[in-house]
């Protein structure tokens, strides 16, 4: 007796489906590699953002959010004020945010 399994031939419809699934898998892998490569090479780094060592907020003020622009740094406080600082850390302007 021969213990080797017989090779079963797939029907033509299943062979076609197997080929399509293989092509789709290869396309998906190539697509993911391409997208990751583009994200890594095209996204700018955060190296251009420079914050001063310390920003001196007025006494009793708690920062809620911080943002930056070209030549300024903005700090939003929990009491509804926006403080605009120069890149060196000096306070330029204070703006009251109306609810």
CB 96 within 8 A of CB 80: yes
pLDDT in tens, 17-38: 999 999 999 999 999 999 999 9
CA distance 47 to 87: 15
Residues forming a β-bridge with 29? none
Domain residue spans in the chain?
11-43, 57-96
User: What is the H or E stretch that residue 28 is in?
Assistant: helix 12-42
Do the beta carbons of residue 64 and residue 77 sit within 8 Å?
yes
Residue 45: its pLDDT value, please?
A: 65
**pLDDT tens digit string along 41-80?**
887 665 566 777 778 888 889 999 998 888 899 999 999 9
- Considering the entire predicted model, what is its pTM? 0.52
Q: What stretch of H or E contains 65? A: strand 63-69
């Amino acid at each position: 007796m021969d213990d080797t399994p017989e090779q079963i031939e797939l029907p033509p419809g299943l062979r076609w489906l197997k080929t399509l699934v293989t092509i789709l898998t290869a396309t998906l892998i190539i697509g993911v590699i391409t997208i990751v490569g583009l994200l890594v090479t095209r996204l700018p780094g955060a190296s251009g953002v420079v914050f001063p060592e310390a920003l001196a907020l007025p006494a009793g003020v708690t920062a809620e959010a911080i943002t930056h622009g070209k030549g300024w740094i903005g700090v939003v406080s929990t009491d509804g004020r926006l403080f605009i600082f120069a890149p060196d850390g000096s306070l330029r302007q204070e703006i009251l945010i109306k609810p």
